[in-house]
A and B are shown apart, each in its own frame.
Chain A
Amino acid sequence: MTDVLHDHPDHSPNRPLNGVRTPNKTPAAPRPRLRRRGLPRANYPAGLGSLIWLGIVGLPLYVLVAATFQTRDGYIDDGPLALPDHPTLANYRRVLRSDFLSYLLNTALVTAVCAAIVITLSVTVGYTVVRARGRTSRRIFQIFLLGLAIPSQAVVIPVYLVITKLHLYDTLLAVILPTAAFSLPVSVLILVGTMRDIDEELYESMALDGASPTRVLLQLVVPLSRSGISTVGVMSALHAWNGFLFPLLLTQSKSNRLLTLGLYDYVGEFRVDTPALLTAVVLSIVPIFLVYLFARRQLISGLMGVGGK
């Protein structure tokens, strides 16, 4: 978990220009200096501040996890900070026996389809923006840049109108389509950044061989943008998994319920059984946590890309 934060945010292999940003490549800061741990002096006020922040971040997370092994009465009697006297898995059993798994399945489906749509569309758009000539492709890129500014909350009413007119209301597709659309601007931005760094000579040599655009895309652009594409995949998946407003307003029936909306419903269903509610919260985060463990580079560079590009 630790090494990733040592990594450079732009870890993609095809970035030849950033020598300055990686200290051990700069002639001014040769390797041995980095090795000597003494170089950055210990900063005690900052260390103290970070410990305070650790408390602010860690305490709720501790309560969240500890409560899931607590009985309802134990939670009420001993308070949220107590370690469970008699750790129990009853909360997990209760949540899993409710409709949780069906919500999970719906969410997984929506997430996978969203990510597939976003990857397909943003790769083709990114490729066109970087390689096509003329004004139109630049205009298209500007539409997406402008699109970064559109908050989904603000346009949810017309989206609702469009979805009902298409007779998609209360289907999973009703959530998938707008969710994917709102993931596109950032994805296009990330991929345009990655694809621009592909060496011009590579394109030219493929053109010399008479390669079609399709072949250039599949044999050159996609392989060399793999890091950007996986970032886009992880980001759009996270966006779809955590989305709440579109499911809330565009679906209704229990069979089409997604996890976030399900969690919201558990507030009523579990009422004062806080441990059960928090267990549902934990279970909803577990899949993302697994992604964090296995794809943290993509996640972090994607989140940095949101603001960093």
Chain B
Amino acid sequence: MADAATRERRPTRERRPAPERRRSVRGAKVGRAGVGRPGVVWALPGALFFVFFAVAPMVLVGALAFTDWDGIGTPSWTGMSNWSRLWDDPETHQAIWLSLILTVLTWVFQTPLALLLGVWAAGRQRNRAVLSAIFFLPLLGSSVALALVWKSLLDPNFGLIADIGPALGFADGDLLGSSKGAFGAILFVTAWQFIPLHTLIYQGGARAIPRSLYDAAAIDGAGTVRQFFSITLPQLRNTIVTSSVIMVVGALTFFDTVLILTKGGPGTDTTIVPYLMYKNGFQAFDLGYASAVATILVVVATTVSLLLVRLTGFAAMRSTREGM
């Protein structure tokens, strides 16, 4: 890699006349007559593939929401009927409500923990490095694998919960059999699974804070706590936004964990929006109605993510490191 760089650079310096150099440095766009630049055709395979399997379906789901379709025949147009049903369906209202609560609680639960762990893990002490490597492990498993582990632990007969359940107020250990317990279990298991990811994001953010800020604060006599609130937290503002959006979109779309831990139950008390969509679409084969439910998800998730683009200058098209 390195010798490729030197090999190319040396002849350039000798050969290139000065005026041309200035022109090309000012704006890459005005450089030489496009020699060696790829045409847009190069991006077409990737762009078309992505549009076909991801962007078009996003539009299509909105269209399917106005149809009646059993998954086998051809969807038939039904106008607003799915939407008026959605408007009146108490199960849908409950699902939207549960999804909102789950999303808010997920943020409240995960953000402080991930933030503290991430800042802690950003320290360069050896014990922190060792522990961080262990904390990272849940990220390796699929949500199915991790949910199965937790389902075993929460089994009222043979799981860990049989022993510690009484201390948590579940005398029979049947945590997953009670509405609040099952909801709490989903909140906890998804947090257990995803906090490592957010810890990692915060660790990266915390390491990017210039050391000199802390040195200056230390000279001014600021202690650890003061430094955390006056330097670390403000400096992590963009990281918090990014992590939060990933967290929120993630919480809106939890599915695997719900399917394995509770199947939306007891009753419909953990049937959040994605699970409701699955139930209507692929168990009842009412895919038109399920599309209407999915449309809500698309709109909410896209809105939240567009906020991310706005707030963090994601689309600024520049290397994040510039100006540092």
Contacts and interface: CB of A to CB of B under 8 A. Distances in A.
Interface of A: 1-6, 8-10, 13-15, 17-18, 20-21, 23, 26, 28-29, 34, 37, 40-41, 43, 46-47, 49-50, 53-54, 56-61, 63-64, 67, 75-76, 79-81, 117, 121-122, 124-125, 127-129, 131-134, 136-138, 140-162, 177-178, 180-182, 184-185, 188, 193, 196-197, 199-208, 210-213, 215-217, 219-220, 223-224, 226, 241-245, 249, 259-260, 263-264, 267, 272, 274, 277-278, 281, 284-285, 288-289, 292, 300, 303-304, 306-309
A5 B28 contact: no
B131 A50 contact: yes
Interface string B52-77: 11111110110010000001000100
B242 A303 contact: no
Contacts, number: 399
B141 A75 contact: no
A204 B12 contact: yes
B205 interface: yes
Contacts of A304: 200-201, 203-204
A260 B142 CA distance: 7
Interface of A is mostly: helix
A197 B253 CA distance: 34
B287 A157 contact: yes
Given A60-B192, A140-B40, A223-B1, A5 B64 contact: no
A285 B314 contact: no
Contacts of B121: 5
> Chain B: interface secondary structure?
helix
A177 to B, nearest CB: 6
A64 B131 contact: no
A57 B89 CA distance: 40
Contacts of A154: 58, 61, 253, 274, 277, 294-295, 297-298, 301
Interface residues of B, number: 137
A149 B242 CA distance: 12
A127 B42 contact: yes
Interface of B: 1-2, 4-5, 8-9, 11-12, 15-16, 24-25, 28-29, 31-32, 34-40, 42-43, 45-47, 49-58, 60-61, 64, 71, 75, 113, 116-117, 120-121, 123-145, 148-153, 155, 158-160, 162-163, 192, 196-198, 200-201, 203-205, 207-208, 210-212, 215, 224, 239, 242-243, 246, 249, 252-253, 255-256, 259-260, 274, 277, 281-282, 287, 290-291, 294-295, 297-298, 301-302, 304-306, 308-309, 314-315, 317-322, 324
A56 B324 contact: no
B40 A58 contact: no
Contacts of B256: 244-245
B288 to A, nearest CB: 9
